A and B are shown apart, each in its own frame.
Chain A
Amino acid sequence: MVPEEVIKELEAAVGAGNLSTDDAMLYVYGFDVSDVTGKPDIVVRPGTVEEVAGCVKVCAKHKLPVIPRGAGSGATGGAVAPTGGVVVDLTRMNKILELDLANLQVAVQPGVVIDQLNQALKPHKFCYPVIPGSDKMATMGGVIANDASGMRAFKYGTAKDYVLGATFVMPDGSVVPFGCKALKNVAGLDLLRLFAGSEGTLGIMAEFRVKVLPLPPSRGVLVAYFEDLETAGKAVINTYQAGIVPSAVEIMEKSALEVVNKYRPQAGVKVAEAMLLFELEGDLDFVESQARSIGYVLDALAVGDRQFSADPAEAERLWSARSAVGAATSVLEEGHNRVYEGEDICVPLTEIPRTLRKLRELRDKYRLGTVIFGHISIGSLHPAITIRKSDERDWKAMKELAAEIHAWALSVGGTVTGEHGIGVARKEYMAIMHPGAYEVMKRIKRALDPDNIMNPGKIF
């Protein structure tokens, strides 16, 4: 129980209507997508940088955990409160503060949703190209704090590559602005890159200035079917070697094709060992010439089964197979539902075919329905495991399966997380992945947050 005095001080910082200690409310804030849970003692919803700072000051004074939270779409327990404390829900701060498109940048509050920003940019023919699969709900704060990315990461990079400035609320409640309006800036240590991906463990980011790009005028989608996984892997590498930079290359392994076929037959998907979807952007001539070049790459590999369109409706239809994977996973097996574990490995490109085969092997070993797909362009694979949630045996098998998936990724020089982060769920891998460097990270954490109040139990 938090003392009444703390509640009063927090109320003074955010206003009584923006604080809750209601039991059901706290319970609801105790979840994200992962199975890590943790009910906070208090939830606050600040509306300004000053209110954020006011809350953190109160928490610093009383040494209470502070858990920043965006949309809670994270898959690692990052936004929940396993040790109690104060969840700072930043979704009230959802204003786009400035569109400075002549300088290729916008200023936003942390609760702005990625899609909200892109909808606002679209009429001006601009975009924020960091588009995770969760763009309809994920917030700028959550995306930058997780250094999120998505299927266009190969071409456009990750969230950290677009931050020009941020206002940090440090663990003692002090407000530290950083960055400038220039598109390049190497003055001193790059605190933006330190905070991006720090998952709220170093402070709260309460305002951002981010780079935006002109929206490509057209888009084409090329779909190709493969009868063996090696050729699919080779097709990606050979595409790059031919000098082509698609905005995305996605893979749907046989399990994904089967399930989409069942769920959305109108998508017209064929069942093969794998399907690749290449997304190409630029002016129409460029898109078409790139598609032709990929065609030559595929010809050389004797892959004839393919389709291409740059017509917006037809391209969308081709892409719809990929968009349907999430929902299709729900119909894989009656009573089996998706869990987010072992879901985010990233491996070197040359290891993709072997990894896909390993995933199949593990799926069969544990007999858990698993749909395999991912951003092959950059080596990110998302095995979607489904279980009977009321069956303890399924949970146990799933945990073992996830551990084997992680072990495999590490054994081939990859990572247990390409996008979704560490949080609580993958913390055990930090020391394994970063012998030595983990200690350096801990020292940075201790220096900035000596009382360990910022998102304790996450990463560290």
Chain B
Amino acid sequence: MELEKVRHVLEKCARCGQCRARCPTIDANDEGVPGWEVFSPRGRMQVAKGLLEGVIRPTRAALDGLFTCFYCNQCVETCPSLANVTDVVIAARKHLVEGGCAPASILQAHETITGSKNMFGLDQDDRIELWSGDVSDLVEAHVGKHAPLLYFVGCQASFKGGLANIPVRMVQILDKLGEDFTLLGEDEVCCGNPMELTGGPDEGLKELAEANVNKIAELGVRRVIFTCPGCYRVFKEVYPRLLGKGLPFSCAMASEYLAEKIRSKDIDLKPIQLPGKVVYHDPCELGRHMGVYDEPREVLRAIPGVDLVEFKHNKEDCNCCGMGGGAAMYDAKVSDFQARAKASDIAEVDACSVITHCPACFQGIEKACGVLNARGAGVEVLDLVEVVARALGIE
């Protein structure tokens, strides 16, 4: 039983409530945010405890509490008892899925991923087509070839037209840097991140992991590059557990890869012009979950013309954009509330561009900028690889 596995974490919790302070879903300061105790990390821990001990049923409030968590890890960062709240949230979600009590939207999402091999239920044949556009020849030339380096695109960037610029620019960067690289094309399957976060069964996840890892290994790949921290985290942290062995290749976020190039002076970044200062938003899964804070900043600082400023809450303390943890799959409203909170953060800094390094955050920040731009602010959102591409003269 999933919850039994986290009993020791539940026991760590002293119920001190300190995690209330930074959890975005209990932050009752923002108009409209729920504020009930079940929306706090401590509340979620208690719901899990109640379910484990069989003293509560999976009521509406239990589901609301557990499925609105953004997996942002602010609670874990704050907890003086070192209790990993998000491990408990995931275990509780799994417990509900196993017991057939999870929300219909979540079960449907699991079915879609298992059936279509992507989170949108779209045709796998469209994995490349939907984004490659002007660079389709370049992409076709690389798909499925044997190469030491592979770019794992991920479902969001593959299928959501508005994010197409991320994979386009990444592929152009790799080409410009003369890398011998490959892509999985229609053989790429969902990494499993949305399923893992929402309590999907291990068997389904393992199937996805095996499909990706085996195919990548077949191509003789030694290193996989990601532009999505969700895929990156699942490959690095979840796959080895599911498969019971280490991966036959290493994993790096695009920023880690680019920072290495900068350090070894293998990249020539030209000055670029941006409308004003830029601020970097730390994606939760990349920062608090994987500890990658410095490389994205190192890359941005290396680009002449980029004037980088910081949010008041940054790095370990960066506020979530509201797109994490599969919460939006359960209740889009909580994401919208959080986008508004993020908009206040953006309004506080004197920046014209918000740079992020995650396709999900891109959408969350876009929402937040939308809130500000409706008031005439004029803030744009960019992915880190888009900025690097400009500095490499890629148009």
Do the two chains belong together in a single complex? Answer: yes
Task: Select which of B12, B14, B21 is within 8 A of A113 by beta carbon.
Answer: B21
B54-95 CB contacts (< 8 Å) to partner A = 55-62, 65, 78-82
Interface string of B290-334 (1 = CB under 8 A from A): 000000000000000000000000000000000000000000000
Minimum CB–CB distance from A435 to chain B (whole Å) comes to: 33
Query: Whole-angstrom distance between the alpha carbons of A298 and B61 in the complex?
Result: 57
Known: A31-B46, A137-B21. A22 touches B37 (CB 8 A): no
Taking CB atoms, residues of chain B closer than 8 Å to A335 are 8
Known: A73-B16, A94-B29, A338-B81. A136 touches B21 (CB 8 A): yes
Interface string of A125-145 (1 = CB under 8 A from B): 000000000101100000000
Q: Judge if B43 is at the interface, Cβ distance under 8 Å.
A: yes
Query: Whole-angstrom distance between the alpha carbons of A91 and B12 in the complex?
Result: 25
Q: Judge if A115 is at the interface, Cβ distance under 8 Å.
A: yes
Query: Whole-angstrom distance between the alpha carbons of A23 and B64 in the complex?
Result: 13
Taking CB atoms, residues of chain B closer than 8 Å to A20 are 36, 61
Q: Judge if A71 is at the interface, Cβ distance under 8 Å.
A: yes
Minimum CB–CB distance from B87 to chain A (whole Å) comes to: 15
B1-48 CB contacts (< 8 Å) to partner A = 7-8, 11-18, 20-21, 28-29, 35-38, 42-43, 46-47
A-B contact count (CB 8 A): 105
Interface string of A320-345 (1 = CB under 8 A from B): 00000011001100010111100000
Are B80's CB and A28's CB within 8 A?
no
Q: Judge if A45 is at the interface, Cβ distance under 8 Å.
A: yes
Query: Whole-angstrom distance between the alpha carbons of A97 and B375 in the complex?
Result: 26
Query: Whole-angstrom distance between the alpha carbons of A72 and B26 in the complex?
Result: 14
Are A137's CB and B47's CB within 8 A?
no
Minimum CB–CB distance from B344 to chain A (whole Å) comes to: 14
Are A330's CB and B81's CB within 8 A?
yes
Q: Judge if B50 is at the interface, Cβ distance under 8 Å.
A: yes
Are A27's CB and B46's CB within 8 A?
yes
Task: Select which of B35, B50, B80 is within 8 A of A24 by beta carbon.
Answer: B50
Taking CB atoms, residues of chain B closer than 8 Å to A373 are none
Taking CB atoms, residues of chain B closer than 8 Å to A330 are 12, 80-82
Minimum CB–CB distance from A7 to chain B (whole Å) comes to: 16
Query: Whole-angstrom distance between the alpha carbons of A72 and B45 in the complex?
Result: 14
Task: Select which of A24, A339, A390 is within 8 A of B14 by beta carbon.
Answer: A339
Query: Whole-angstrom distance between the alpha carbons of A230 and B330 in the complex?
Result: 60
**Smallest Cβ-Cβ distance to B43: which chain A residue:** A28
Minimum CB–CB distance from B21 to chain A (whole Å) comes to: 4
Q: How many residues of B contact A (CB 8 A)?
A: 37
Taking CB atoms, residues of chain B closer than 8 Å to A437 are none
Taking CB atoms, residues of chain A closer than 8 Å to B29 are 94, 116
**Smallest Cβ-Cβ distance to B8: which chain A residue:** A335
Task: Select which of B7, B16, B38, B57 is within 8 A of A28 by beta carbon.
Answer: B38
Taking CB atoms, residues of chain B closer than 8 Å to A337 are 11-14, 81
Are B80's CB and A72's CB within 8 A?
no
Are A24's CB and B61's CB within 8 A?
yes
Query: Whole-angstrom distance between the alpha carbons of A28 and B46 in the complex?
Result: 6
Query: Whole-angstrom distance between the alpha carbons of A33 and B29 in the complex?
Result: 23
Minimum CB–CB distance from B12 to chain A (whole Å) comes to: 5
Taking CB atoms, residues of chain B closer than 8 Å to A22 are 59-62
Query: Whole-angstrom distance between the alpha carbons of A254 and B78 in the complex?
Result: 25
Are B28's CB and A111's CB within 8 A?
yes
Are A29's CB and B37's CB within 8 A?
yes
Q: Judge if A89 is at the interface, Cβ distance under 8 Å.
A: yes
Taking CB atoms, residues of chain A closer than 8 Å to B18 are 73, 134, 136-137
**Smallest Cβ-Cβ distance to A17: which chain B residue:** B34
Taking CB atoms, residues of chain A closer than 8 Å to B11 are 337, 389-390
Query: Whole-angstrom distance between the alpha carbons of A326 and B18 in the complex?
Result: 11
**Smallest Cβ-Cβ distance to B53: which chain A residue:** A27
Task: Select which of A24, A33, A94, A331 is within 8 A of B17 by beta carbon.
Answer: A33
Are A72's CB and B17's CB within 8 A?
yes
Task: Select which of A24, A25, A134 is within 8 A of B16 by beta carbon.
Answer: A134
Are A115's CB and B38's CB within 8 A?
no
Query: Whole-angstrom distance between the alpha carbons of A24 and B60 in the complex?
Result: 8
**Smallest Cβ-Cβ distance to A74: which chain B residue:** B17
Task: Select which of B20, B42, B46, B80 is within 8 A of A327 by beta carbon.
Answer: B80
Taking CB atoms, residues of chain B closer than 8 Å to A111 are 28
Taking CB atoms, residues of chain A closer than 8 Å to B37 are 25, 28-29, 72, 89
Query: Whole-angstrom distance between the alpha carbons of A73 and B56 in the complex?
Result: 23
Taking CB atoms, residues of chain B closer than 8 Å to A71 are 17, 20
**Smallest Cβ-Cβ distance to B78: which chain A residue:** A136
Are B35's CB and A91's CB within 8 A?
yes
Are A33's CB and B15's CB within 8 A?
yes
Q: Judge if A419 is at the interface, Cβ distance under 8 Å.
A: no
Taking CB atoms, residues of chain B closer than 8 Å to A24 are 38, 47, 50, 56-59, 61-62, 65
Taking CB atoms, residues of chain A closer than 8 Å to B35 are 45, 91-92
Minimum CB–CB distance from A25 to chain B (whole Å) comes to: 4
Query: Whole-angstrom distance between the alpha carbons of A136 and B56 in the complex?
Result: 29
Are A28's CB and B60's CB within 8 A?
no
Query: Whole-angstrom distance between the alpha carbons of A24 and B54 in the complex?
Result: 11
A17-53 CB contacts (< 8 Å) to partner B = 20, 22-25, 27-29, 31-33, 43, 45
Query: Whole-angstrom distance between the alpha carbons of A115 and B60 in the complex?
Result: 32
Are B55's CB and A27's CB within 8 A?
yes
Find the residue from A28, A72, A92 having the highest chain B CB count within 10 A. Answer: A28
**Smallest Cβ-Cβ distance to B16: which chain A residue:** A33
Query: Whole-angstrom distance between the alpha carbons of A337 and B13 in the complex?
Result: 8
Taking CB atoms, residues of chain A closer than 8 Å to B79 are 327
Taking CB atoms, residues of chain A closer than 8 Å to B60 are 22
Minimum CB–CB distance from A117 to chain B (whole Å) comes to: 12
Binding site for B on A (CB under 8 A): 20, 22-25, 27-29, 31-33, 43, 45, 71-73, 89, 91-92, 94, 111, 113, 115-116, 134, 136-137, 326-327, 330-331, 335, 337-340, 389-390
Q: Which 5 A-B pairs have the closest CB atoms?
A: A24-B62, A326-B80, A22-B61, A136-B21, A25-B61
A-B CB contact pairs (8 Å), 6 listed: A20-B61, A27-B50, A45-B36, A137-B18, A326-B81, A337-B14
Apart from the given pairs A22-B62, A27-B50, A43-B36, 7 other A-B contacts in the complex at a CB distance below 8 Å? A23-B57, A25-B61, A33-B14, A33-B15, A91-B28, A327-B82, A330-B80
